[in-house]
Amino acid sequence: MARKLTYRRRRGSGLGRFGAGLILLAGCGSQSGERVVVGSKNFTEQLVLGELVAQQIEARTELEVERRLNLGGTLICHRAILAGQIDLYVEYTGTALTAILHQPPSQDAAAVFDQVAKAYERLGLVWMAPLGFNNTFAIVVRGADARRLELETISDAAAHAPAWRAGFGYEFMERADGFRGLAQSYGLEFRAPPRTMELGLLYRALKERQVDLVAGNSTDGVIAELDLVVLEDDRGYFPVYEAAVVVRRDTLTRHPALEAALEHLAGRLDEDRMRAMNRAVDSQQRGLQEVAQRFLESEVAR
């Protein structure tokens, strides 16, 4: 008999980066019979997606879900899933291509997905179909500066960069598709080396004029609210970053119902919906469980 589709609210993990790291080191992995472990990276969108995936599994399978959200950056989550310490998490195709596989960026969405899916298959990992949105890096400036200087593209900003200060997250400073390549592509030179900052502080630092340009995410919900402007990547530097669930092959084998539950999320999320959920958490102070539940009830539970 088919299970009644209900979305239950459960308490999230609430783990900080270091607490989660301790669990990864001490934990026994995800090998118990009817349990799956959902992980996430350490920024708002990832927390929302981790909770959304967890609730989807709870609603459509008999599996118990353990949440290990807010683990850290890309490499931490990748190592965790390879080690069997988590069973699945949401990754981005362009991130996998450049940060994990160390391949050059590409804007061909289908080719990038095929390339990363085939490479991950050799690691025992499966890419589910994309969720439906592309969360590319966004080069952001203050709206007042964009209007005053008539800035529309990154090339426009490059002429003013020698007088500016920049702020970027740690991964953006280190990744192949990050600052070094961007600076080379656009000839960007700032008046001082870019500041490395926590992702959650970037927009506030920009608004308060501590920096003049930052690299955020195109689906961040606070950009419009803070009167910030995303500059067009007019030279096509950034690759496609389609979000999709990555899951261990042995987990799908042990739990056949899991694949169907995850497939039901394919194509359900566009940029506007993702941006709205991020804004609900960051600006409206709504809880992860509530935001994920409302989306699933309105967009997926049918």
Position 19 pLDDT exceeds 70: no
Position 31 pLDDT exceeds 50: no
CA distances from 149 to 188, 201, 222 (A): 17, 25, 22
The model carries a pTM of: 0.81
CA-CA distance, 172 to 182, in Å (whole number)? 10
Question: In whole angstroms, how large is the CA radius of gyration of the chain?
Answer: 19
Provide the mean pLDDT of the chain.
Answer: 89
Sheet holding 125-127, edge to edge: 64-68, 35-39, 88-92, 243-248, 125-127
Higher pLDDT, 153 or 11: 153
Look at the alpha carbons of 165, 198, 226, 278 in this order and tell me if their dihedral is positive or negative. positive
Q: What is the CATH number that goes with domain 137-231?
A: 3.40.190.120
Q: Which two tokens stand for residue 235?
A: 């030279």
What's the N-to-C CA distance of the chain in angstroms?
Answer: 17
Pick from 153-157, 192-196, 223-227: least confident: 223-227
For residues 201, 229, 142, 233, the Cα torsion angle rounded to the nearest 10 degrees is: 90
Mean pLDDT of 49-68: 97
Structural contact between residues 243 and 269, judged by C-beta atoms closer than 8 angstroms: yes
Mean pLDDT of 79-83: 98
Question: DSSP 3-state assignment of 4?
Answer: coil
pLDDT at 271: 94
Q: Domain extents for the chain?
A: 17-134+240-300, 137-231
The single residue listed with the structure tokens 């390879």 is 82
Range 17-134+240-300 classified under CATH 3.40.190.10? yes
Give 294's contacts (C-beta < 8 A, 6+ positions apart): none
pLDDT at 107: 87
If phi > 0 it is left, if psi is from -120 to 50 it is alpha, else beta; for residue 46 that is alpha
CA–chain centroid gap for 253, Å, is 26
Q: Which two tokens stand for residue 295?
A: 């989306």
Mean pLDDT of 239-268: 97
Question: Within 13 Å of residue 260, how many CA atoms lie on the same side as its CB?
Answer: 8
Position 230 pLDDT exceeds 70: yes
Residues 98-144 have pLDDT tens digits of 999 999 888 899 999 999 999 999 999 999 999 999 999 999 999 99
Residues 178-222 have pLDDT tens digits of 999 999 999 999 999 999 998 889 999 999 999 999 999 999 989
In 3D space, the residue among 57, 50, 61 whose CA is nearest the CA of residue 89 turns out to be 50
CA–chain centroid gap for 271, Å, is 12
Position 29 pLDDT exceeds 60: no
In 3D space, the residue among 71, 92, 91, 53 whose CA is nearest the CA of residue 14 turns out to be 71
In 3D space, the residue among 106, 89, 100 whose CA is nearest the CA of residue 122 turns out to be 100
